[in-house]
Amino acid sequence: MIRVLSVASECVPLVKTGGLADVVGALPAALAAEGVEMRVLLPGYPSVLARLPAAEMVWQADDLFGGPARLVQGAASGLSLFVLDAPHLYDRPGGPYLDEAGQDWPDNDARFAALSWMAARIGAEGAGDWRPDILHCHDWQAGLTPVYLKARAVDLPSVITVHNMAFRGLIPAERLAPLALPAWAFQPEGMEFYGQISALKAGLVYAWKVTTVSPTYARELAMPEFGAGLDGVIRARGADVSGILNGIDEVLWNPATDPHIAPFKEPRGKAKARAALIGEMGLSDGDGPLCVVVSRLSEQKGLDLLLAALPGLIARGGRVALLGAGDSGLEAAWHAEAEANDAVAVRIGYDEALSHRMIAGGDAILVPSRFEPCGLTQLYGLRYGTVPVVARTGGLADTVIDANPAALAAGVATGIQFAPATAEALGAALDRLCDLYADRTAFRKLQRNGMRAPVGWGPSAAAYATLFRELTTRK
């Protein structure tokens, strides 16, 4: 049995802002079948501590970066957890990263340095009667962990998984000493990034291995246009970098048993969900595809491109239902579009149950991202027979088989890809979607192919387990 401590800032079902939480929450059960015992270390947000009323304290200190802290362990929702309970860092309203006004917490550097520091301490000394063989760090919030380990002179294997390179965890250089970071690591070959500390770069440099959430994204990160200034680090790590595709929870996302919808097992069964969604969202019906978007509203996600391509889709009878939140300018633009056109409906915010109803009721799910490390919504779409229309980038390229003439003739297509990420290319892809939708036989074949596509964690869990075994053997 290999013991792995997964270090993350969010985890389903305890706290979630995006796909990172889904991955962190799904991996422990998926890896258990591979002989890996994974426990998760999380910050002590109020929502997390509320799920652990009988937690056992295994460590405490009077001062951890400005206040008292303790480490507790317990179980919730099938997960074995360690939680860093530090009220001065985590006991506050708002979200994990942003305050109630939508601004970054000014002490995010200390909040996630403390999480990394605790991970390194557990790696070095254990917690209670448990000690990990490997530390698995997720994104910049856990990126300082390998540095703290090295500062302790602890030769413990570590892996950092990059879920999104765009978030580099930049920290002012003067915070080096207050965060108990070693001065020797503040150099261009270490965690220094244009005069600042980059928590993500720290992980990329000092972790034993680097993974990303899709093979294509792993290759893209070595390119300047995708590497966010850290492409040179990725190239330097060479064979230490690999891509392991994300999966989805096939129990939670199962159209035959989903409690949020009228369950169905094949494409024709979607009719009730489609009609219900049109009614719920207040859309007029049309003779084109009902397209859904469940996404953060940001430039990365390409939703400005979709706004530009909307007239062509609507002219062909298409409809769009959008659920998401993010950039205030994009929120306002989508609101204005919905107010002006009964072919568009918008819900600002996030609603888990509504996301299930939308993905079940849609004919197609649109993911026009400029870059996408992996993406999960296109996998949910495949599972529910909701045809993905995706940009050819990152995990979108790895999970959707384009309905080109060869793939259609061979009967293997599952969706539509387009490139480059422009409004014109997206518009052409939406025209292809409308053409396919008009051919009911061809469209249902596309839907059935998607519903049979492998989207679960099995292959990915096996790949992680192989990596972990390699690291323990190397040690």
CATH for 2-247+458-474 (3.40.50.2000, 3.20.20.80, 3.40.640.10, 3.20.20.150): 3.40.50.2000
pTM (2 decimals)?
0.93
Which residues contribute to the annotated binding site? 16
pLDDT tens string for the chain (475 positions)?
999 999 999 999 999 988 899 999 999 999 999 999 999 999 999 999 999 988 999 999 999 999 999 999 999 999 999 999 999 999 999 889 998 888 999 999 999 999 999 999 999 999 999 999 999 999 999 999 999 999 999 999 999 999 999 999 999 999 999 999 999 999 999 999 999 999 999 999 999 999 999 999 999 999 999 999 999 999 999 999 999 999 998 998 999 999 999 999 999 999 999 999 999 999 998 999 999 999 999 999 999 999 999 999 999 999 999 999 989 999 999 999 999 999 999 999 989 899 999 999 999 999 999 999 999 999 999 999 999 999 999 999 999 999 999 999 999 999 999 999 999 999 999 999 999 999 999 999 999 999 999 999 999 999 999 999 999 987 5
417 forms bridges with which residues in the sheet?
390
Q: Domain-by-domain residue ranges, the chain?
A: 2-247+458-474, 267-452
Burial letters 134-168, b for 16+ CB under 10 A, else e: bbbbbbbbbbbbbbbbbbeebebbbbbbbbbbebb
- Percentage helix, strand, coil for the chain under 3-state DSSP, each rounded to 5: 40, 20, 40
Q: Do domains 2-247+458-474 and 267-452 have the same CATH topology?
A: yes
Which residues contribute to the annotated binding site for ADP-alpha-D-glucose? 16
SS (HEC) of 12-74 = CCCECCCHHHHHHHHHHHHHHCCCEEEEEEEECCHHHHCCCCCCEEEEEECCCCCCCEEEEEE
101, 377, 436, 358: CA torsion to nearest 10: -60
- For 127, the token pair is 């917690």
Q: Write the class of the CATH domain 267-452.
A: alpha beta
